[in-house]
Structure 1
Amino acid sequence: MPDLTLDSSADDPKLLAQIVAYYHQTLKESPDALAYLRKRGITNPAVIDHFRVGYSDRTLGLKLPIKARTAGAVIRERLHRLGLYRESGHEHFHGSVIFPVAAADGTGRIVDIYGRKTRTDLRAGTPLDTHLNNDKLGVWNVEAFAGAAEVVLCSSLFDALTFWNHGCRNATTMFGTNALTDDLLAAFKEFNVRRVLTTDEKVVEKLLVAGLEVFLVRLPLDTDVNAYARQTKDPADALGSLLRGAEWAGKGKPTSAPVVACTAAPEAQNESLSELLGDDPDEEDESEPGEGTDHETNPPVLVIEEQAPIRTASPVPPAPQADEATVSENQVVLTFGTRKYRVRGLEKNATPDVLKANVLATNGVGMFIDTFDLYSAKHRTGFQAQAAAEMNVEEATVKADIGRVLLKLEELQDARLRRNEPTTPVPSQMTAADQNDALALLRDPHLLDRIVNDFAVVGDRTNKLVGYLAAVSRKLDQPLAVLIQSTSAAGKTTLMEAVLNFCPPEDVVKYSAMTGQSLYYIGDGGLRHKILAIVEEEGAAKASYALKLLQSEGELRIASTGKEGNTGRLTTQEYHVAGPTMLFLTTTGITTDEELLNRCLVLTVQEDREQTRAIHDLQRKRQTLDGLLAANSHQSTLTLHRNAQRLLKPLLVVNPFAERLTFPTTRTRTRRDHQKYLTLIRTITLLHQHQRPVRTVEHNGKAVEFIEATVEDIAAANALASVVLGRCLDDLPPQTRNLLGLLDAFVTEQCRVQSVERADFRFSRRQVREATAWGDTQLKLHLKRLVELEFVGVHRDRQTNRHAYELLFACNDAGHVLPELLNVAELRRAEVGCEPSRSGSEPNQAVVGRGLVGPMSGLCRAEEIDATTVSIGNTGQTNRIESES
């Protein structure tokens, strides 16, 4: 709230000026009032200070002495007499943007105030426009009449203000239609105004009678100047066209010579109409034959040329251009004569409504430096006064300089903010050759092999395929989600980056972390059929609930409170984020949110010595010449895959074998895992869409295109699901399961060497650490999990007080078999005419097979399923997908 200092001994004009100054400061601290001006198209910051625009927010009474005291009663009585207070004790202009109106004689004395309500939710009958008194005294912007041969006369103040805002400085208003006042006519005569361009046809005759040359500005039907300017892309040019197209309405005969000669220098914007029309401004108006020239004795005579042609008014000059400046990386220098202004720190401003900078003013005589916000009139005034004193120049000179500096800095800052605006990646245009290469890739019968071979990472064959297919699933209505879970430095982020590099940049949204509410404000189309990748799941822990909903529901909706722009009242606002979205996360934790885990395909990175050795070999190879060349050529491979994915259409996928598929039903979570399995099949089919015929069916009068899944698609999905979804059948995290497999191998080998039974073999954590080369912290964490799940038992030696472990698990679970999946061989036999209940390749005949009961039972058959052989593609190409430990 600004300070208010009232001089109780001041006369009425000075008291009125003090109140206007208070309202002026109030406006600068009122975001709602400033927003109203911007809404009306008033964007030039110089308008507020030049016209001392203010705002009445009903705080004036709080600054006055209390009414019970004599001083308070006296000052309120004076304000009531001036019209600022009503009989009810309320401010006359409360809730209004106010504009002081000066006397017609150009002295600057305030004789009236115009107010305009900023809100629209007023009681019925409340006037939007108010004046200090009903006489509408004074002339707004009368100072612009000095040296102006012509004036633009508008019906409303905001119309005139719109002209001024866009460069036409010699504009004024009548405050109403057909409301030409005596003060306006007196000001025209006082300042020797010869021509008037008006938007009000009703006052044309009065202006002609007053001896003025009149041009009528035609506006589109049912609109005003302010609305017309806000509807156009270039308001200055549009308003200039209006004035240049003004119709000449006539030229009256002046009744007397000008009272006072103009001594002010004309502004550059107010170019004379006579110079552009070819008239001599100093030439006396000629009287028609038979009429006297004694203007003092003869009454006003209206002189209108008969059948006068339509003339065009002078062009309106453009808005003032910012000065030239020397712009470097960290400073801007502007020079005006001997005065130089150096500006630094402009790049720190992040919003367009702040223009804070460090300004150094110098002229060889003195210097002054300060850091302030150039949009603050109070700060500018202080800088101008001190800089003028230090440089020994007039304060008005520095004020003009700072105005020019402000315009230039505003231009530079707007340009910088536009450059820094986030841009949505635009799909690159494919050439015909690029499109042919991409189609050739999609039509390759060994497509899945091509995808694996094109990865620039070693090992993790299944992870590569699953990651790539999950990324492609973003084009479906129910995409997959992937969570890569491993220890630190294992390569999970490298795998995620490798998958994302194959995807078009415009389809990837990647963050390092997300706050709890950030997802809800991304925008309605910001994530639709895109990949949302988060580098570390811990960075999105607060957004876990939103991520789960986005994956399950395919959209997000949130209701939040917000303020209405016009009224400021709190209302409920709804935000919507449209999906579906493919989620891609990584994590190092083993205690990840279970609800998020069962929505994702959980991948684990190989952490054995062989994988580490292969990674080291690749890292060393990349430092050779061949490695550098290979990295360069890999960019073209990435471009090929991105173009191929751009060519994939979101076609419907029909699975003709869907009713015959099977899936485990032992656990409730398989309800979601089954949907992942079906989506995996759809994704493989979608990826091969350029190798499948596109079929069409008519439904509800519309043609629906679709492609069908094949046996090969189901075989490939079964192989991947056995590895990825097979891990979901127990509560073991991937790395804990890996440790269990290593323990089983270690115990089996030690029992063989020591010739002891498994139940009698005990081992320590140190022995496991030496055998597996795992770190102590990692080993403690996963071994504790195995103990809790009773895969490993703990024994305590009472003599040494040490713990020994016993492996209670009797089978290596590294095979990750997903039981109960449909045997693809049955589907193949059905396609060639065999009965599904029989085995063998001969029609209606079964071959001799294995007996129902074997001679000996074994502990496990994991050794028989260490790899799965499937047929992929239309050509029966065999692809071996290795199981991961």
Structure 2
Amino acid sequence: MEIPALKNQLDIYQVAERLGIRINKHHKALCPFHDDKRPSLQFSKEKQIATCFSGHCTAGTMDVISLVAKKLNLSTHEAIKWLETEFNPHGSSPPAGRETSKAEAPNFPQLFRVFEGNLKKSSKGKAYLEKRGLSQSLEVGYNGKEGWEKMRNCLIFPLKDEKGQIVSFYGRRAASGTNGTHYYNTNRQGLYPGYPKASTETLILTESVIDAATLQQHIPYPVLAFYGVNGITKELAESIKKLEGTLKELIFFFDGDEAGRSAVEKHAAFFEEIMEVKVSYVETPEGEDINSLAVNHPSLSRTCSGREEKELFTHLINNRKPFHYSPDPSPVQSSQANPSQLITDNPELLYYQNCVLNFTVLGGIKITGLDRLRVTLKIEHTDKNHLLPIRHNLDLYNNGQVEQLGQKIAEQMEVTTHEAVTAMAHLINELEEYREKRLEALKPKKETKPVLNQIEKTQALEVLKSPDLMKETMNLITQSGIVGEERNAFIAYLTYTSRKRASPLHLMCLGASGTGKTYLQEKVGELMPEEDKLEITTLSENAFYYFGREELKHKLILIEDLDGLSRSEASGSGAAYALRELQSKRRISKTVTLKDNKGNLKTVTLKVEGPVCVSGCTTREKIYEDNANRCILVYIDTSTAQDKKIMAYQQAVSSGSIDKTKENQNKQCLKNMQRLLKPLQIRNPYASMIQLPESVFKPRRTMMLLLSFIETITYYHQYQRSVSTDRHTGEQYIQTEVEDIAWAFRLLKEALFAKSDELSGACRSFFEQLKSIKGEESFRSQEIRKALRLAPSTLKRYLLELTRYGYVKVAGGSKYRGFEYQVSDHKEYEALRSSIDEQLEAILTRIRSVGK
């Protein structure tokens, strides 16, 4: 097959996986061609190439063929044959039952017998065995010059399949002065010294075939060889996995260098993840391996507290250490840390310095778009200040650009090209680690729900099961630091409790600026579990659409200032519009056009699901009328009596007479009670008997709010009600009782008045104060403004609304001297309240008679 056609049909990622090269999510891998501590081999899906950016490596840029050739130590022709056999790019397969020809698959057992005979005749082979401390009794042969070009002058070790048959060879060069040292057959398969027995309980893993051959001569444990620090094959891993259930311990006995220790950490963590087995490692002396220990220290022994001397390998294995995965620091890594040389105090100005060059990354780096690393660099020499700095813009993942800049640095900074490229390679690694940390920091943290201890659970359940649950709850709320506003605080608490239900309630706190509406919402919000609420100060127009799809589900959203929402209501957009949709439809969606990482435009639909419970504060009820219709309205108490209560509490806090510890305990108890409430269906058998007063405006939504509030009170009593099961649907539910309805009427009476009143809450409050001050007398605006200390604009707005609805009439005067006003009807509000009281009481009487 032609080489271009072969490349087109192969994926370098799949080939790398077959070669045992693991590519991470950033398209990088540990380079197998040098001692690589940090992944420096960069893969490109688009270009189908792999490039090592390390200054310590000569691999450079490789396509799929050269990658195979370098990794398996093959010629280009042999690499192509290997790819054609492994991946069958022709798209065909041999007919079923056809034997593979000898040219395609040699008779390995027969060949090995020839190699064994050669060893007996070869002085060179015997000398190398002796040099490496290996016995001729091992299963080993020798290939001279008679064939197998790649394995000429090599000791030959057989690799065996699961049946114990020789299926491939490993060759170790015996001659000196050659470029390579070890070789494998094309299409390597099999293990050395063979598959471990099914009864194996302890297995020692070595870094190389030579080490495994050496260790077999000194210890009784079964041994299995890796093919280098990165040489774990699928076959090797599966052979160990098959021992699960029998195998009790895996012992890593790798080289005593940084590469060996890093490999132990990586492979040990891998086996701990895929199977239940104890993993340990031998602390190999620094700079040594198994074979060097056997060759250089044949009589080395240790004495421990007068015990009998033990041979070195037995001593090392007996003193092995258990492996426990810990990313930083590693249990088997060198104790020398490698701190980052990248200074990131200012994200827009990053500094990197090595012993020769200083790099400044002007403008920082882009966190997204991981397929490129475009930067603007300022390069200076560390010592030679007389040299002018170099400023250059480039993509550090573009090999050509990096090489050109390296040459330019070498020419102008009086350093070698190797020094320049090495410094840049280290800079790339540091920038990648920095970007990875930034991306990790941007990920939303998973919420962990606190687990209640037995004491906390008992205290919370004691209240939830109390016969006077509502009164005890109100007491806890009052004793948690909320002064006055008991009714409003309890309404807010129950409304926030509804967040756990399929159709939550919503709340709007109304009042003039500085009257404490935000304070009330904040204090009641403190009684809710932290994991169930989201506190928002301000919102941009599209903020709600960029939450995760289920991030807001059953959350309490506390908006400090509804007046700060986007004003783009006329266009049918804005945060207030999204808020209404979340309240009504319990989901929102928005279709937008975005650019992908290649600059192409695509359409994306952003979806956010509820339900949510929304609570907000505002001074302008009329402006947010659409939102208010969906909410229970709470009007802040602005009376003089409330002012005195708050000031007395402030004085008590200042004097230290308030027990803050007790307040915090009450808050925690209420939070824990909330955590114990579970989703449960509610049925109200009295729903058809509940009628709204005829004076209520927009009765449909008001009825929905009232019924939902009654159901929330029932839901709050779930630990006191027996659970019933629907015979037809299997649905479990609890039923509303008469007292739940009575509590709802008692708490929401003022809210129902508000729903029945033409006037806004603030205007009604002004009107009632006006009537109490002036009675039947006429008045001018100036005297009322002084009496109530109102701003002229506020007074004008109230009088305009009262005049428009006919509650106040002009009794005289002129616009030049000031109008004189008079109240039209002093008893209209008392009549409204009395009418609503009578109707609610009649409903309760009728329900109680049925309940009996």
TM category, shorter: 0.5 to 0.7
Name the residue aligned to 1:646: 675
Residue 402 of structure 1 aligns with an amino acid whose one-letter code is M
**Could you tell me whether the CA contact under 8 Å between 2:344 and 2:351 is conserved in 1?**
no
Instruction: Answer yes or no: is 1:745 the counterpart of 2:764.
Output: no
Name the residue aligned to 2:829: 813
1:821 Cα offset (Å): 2.4
For the residues of structure 2 that align with 1:727 and 1:386, how far apart are their CA atoms? Answer: 78
**CA offsets, 1:140-182, max 9 Å, x none?**
99999x999xx9999xx55976999xxx79899879974779x
Name the residue aligned to 1:716: 743
* TM-score, normalising length: structure 2: 0.60
1:631 Cα offset (Å): 3.4
SS in 1 for 2:514: coil
For the residues of structure 2 that align with 1:412 and 1:521, how far apart are their CA atoms? Answer: 25
The equivalences for 1:120-139 within 5 A come to: none
Say which is worse superposed, 642-651 or 383-392, in terms of deviation.
Answer: 383-392
For the residues of structure 2 that align with 1:648 and 1:713, how far apart are their CA atoms? Answer: 17
Name the residue aligned to 1:830: 849
Residue 428 of structure 2 aligns with an amino acid whose one-letter code is L
Closer, same or farther in 2 for the Cα pair 1:515/1:792, shift >3 Å? same
**CA offsets, 1:355-391, max 9 Å, x none?**
7577664332236657777744598678656654554
For the residues of structure 1 that align with 2:61 and 2:369, how far apart are their CA atoms? Answer: 33
Name the residue aligned to 1:785: 801
Name the residue aligned to 1:341: 358
Residue 528 of structure 1 aligns with an amino acid whose one-letter code is K
For the residues of structure 2 that align with 1:613 and 1:785, how far apart are their CA atoms? Answer: 30
For the residues of structure 2 that align with 1:597 and 1:467, how far apart are their CA atoms? Answer: 15
* Unaligned 5+ runs, structure 1: 1-37, 55-95, 101-139, 182-196, 216-247, 259-275, 286-301, 749-757, 834-885
Closer, same or farther in 2 for the Cα pair 1:45/1:477, shift >3 Å? same
1:715 Cα offset (Å): 0.9
Task: Report how many aligned residue pairs link the two structures.
Answer: 606
Closer, same or farther in 2 for the Cα pair 1:417/1:632, shift >3 Å? farther
**Could you tell me whether the CA contact under 8 Å between 1:550 and 1:556 is conserved in 2?**
yes
1:658 Cα offset (Å): 2.1
Closer, same or farther in 2 for the Cα pair 1:796/1:527, shift >3 Å? same
Closer, same or farther in 2 for the Cα pair 1:380/1:612, shift >3 Å? farther
Closer, same or farther in 2 for the Cα pair 1:98/1:713, shift >3 Å? closer
Closer, same or farther in 2 for the Cα pair 1:333/1:561, shift >3 Å? closer
Of 571, 594, 597, the match for 2:625: 594
Name the residue aligned to 1:883: none
Paired-residue identity, %: 21
Residue 619 of structure 1 aligns with an amino acid whose one-letter code is Q
Of 766, 778, 781, the match for 1:762: 778
**Could you tell me whether the CA contact under 8 Å between 2:29 and 2:41 is conserved in 1?**
no
Instruction: Answer yes or no: is 1:554 the counterpart of 2:581.
Output: no
Closer, same or farther in 2 for the Cα pair 1:162/1:809, shift >3 Å? farther
Closer, same or farther in 2 for the Cα pair 1:360/1:732, shift >3 Å? farther
For the residues of structure 1 that align with 2:815 and 2:550, how far apart are their CA atoms? Answer: 68
Name the residue aligned to 2:382: 363
1:648 Cα offset (Å): 0.4
The equivalences for 1:684-695 within 5 A come to: 684-695=713-724
Name the residue aligned to 1:414: 436
SS in 1 for 2:419: helix
Closer, same or farther in 2 for the Cα pair 1:284/1:598, shift >3 Å? closer
For the residues of structure 1 that align with 2:68 and 2:644, how far apart are their CA atoms? Answer: 73
Name the residue aligned to 1:330: 345
**Could you tell me whether the CA contact under 8 Å between 1:507 and 1:529 is conserved in 2?**
yes
Residue 500 of structure 2 aligns with an amino acid whose one-letter code is K
Name the residue aligned to 1:754: none
1:495 Cα offset (Å): 1.2
**Could you tell me whether the CA contact under 8 Å between 1:503 and 1:642 is conserved in 2?**
yes
Residue 437 of structure 1 aligns with an amino acid whose one-letter code is Q
For the residues of structure 1 that align with 2:545 and 2:381, how far apart are their CA atoms? Answer: 51
Name the residue aligned to 1:423: 445
Residue 313 of structure 1 aligns with an amino acid whose one-letter code is Y
For the residues of structure 2 that align with 1:333 and 1:253, how far apart are their CA atoms? Answer: 57
**CA offsets, 1:440-498, max 9 Å, x none?**
22223233323432342322122101111110011222111111122222211111111
Of 29, 42, 50, the match for 2:27: 42
Instruction: Answer yes or no: is 1:282 the counterpart of 2:309.
Output: no
**Could you tell me whether the CA contact under 8 Å between 1:352 and 1:413 is conserved in 2?**
no
1:405 Cα offset (Å): 1.6
SS in 1 for 2:829: coil
Residue 498 of structure 1 aligns with an amino acid whose one-letter code is K
SS in 1 for 2:678: coil
* Unaligned 5+ runs, structure 2: 1-22, 34-39, 94-99, 113-139, 151-169, 180-185, 195-208, 210-225, 231-258, 267-332, 567-573
Name the residue aligned to 1:11: none
Name the residue aligned to 1:500: 525
- The two structures, once aligned, show a CA RMSD in angstroms of 5.1
Closer, same or farther in 2 for the Cα pair 1:355/1:519, shift >3 Å? same
Closer, same or farther in 2 for the Cα pair 1:334/1:557, shift >3 Å? closer
1:735 Cα offset (Å): 0.9
For the residues of structure 2 that align with 1:334 and 1:762, how far apart are their CA atoms? Answer: 80
**CA offsets, 1:83-110, max 9 Å, x none?**
xxxxxxxxxxxxx94569xxxxxxxxxx
**Could you tell me whether the CA contact under 8 Å between 2:351 and 2:361 is conserved in 1?**
no
**Could you tell me whether the CA contact under 8 Å between 2:460 and 2:670 is conserved in 1?**
yes
**CA offsets, 1:634-678, max 9 Å, x none?**
333322222110100121122232222221244561111011111
For the residues of structure 2 that align with 1:425 and 1:672, how far apart are their CA atoms? Answer: 35
Name the residue aligned to 1:680: 709
Name the residue aligned to 2:646: 615
Name the residue aligned to 2:754: 727
**Could you tell me whether the CA contact under 8 Å between 2:360 and 2:377 is conserved in 1?**
yes
For the residues of structure 1 that align with 2:539 and 2:142, how far apart are their CA atoms? Answer: 69
**CA offsets, 1:32-75, max 9 Å, x none?**
xxxxxx9997347999xx99999xxxxxxxxxxxxxxxxxxxxx
**Could you tell me whether the CA contact under 8 Å between 2:685 and 2:735 is conserved in 1?**
yes
Instruction: Answer yes or no: is 1:582 the counterpart of 2:613.
Output: yes
For the residues of structure 1 that align with 2:24 and 2:756, how far apart are their CA atoms? Answer: 61
Residue 732 of structure 1 aligns with an amino acid whose one-letter code is L
Instruction: Answer yes or no: is 1:535 the counterpart of 2:560.
Output: yes
Residue 548 of structure 1 aligns with an amino acid whose one-letter code is R
SS in 1 for 2:726: strand
SS in 2 for 1:698: coil
The equivalences for 1:428-577 within 5 A come to: 428-444=450-466, 445=468, 446-541=471-566, 542-560=574-592, 570=602, 573-577=604-608
Closer, same or farther in 2 for the Cα pair 1:774/1:51, shift >3 Å? closer
Residue 773 of structure 2 aligns with an amino acid whose one-letter code is F
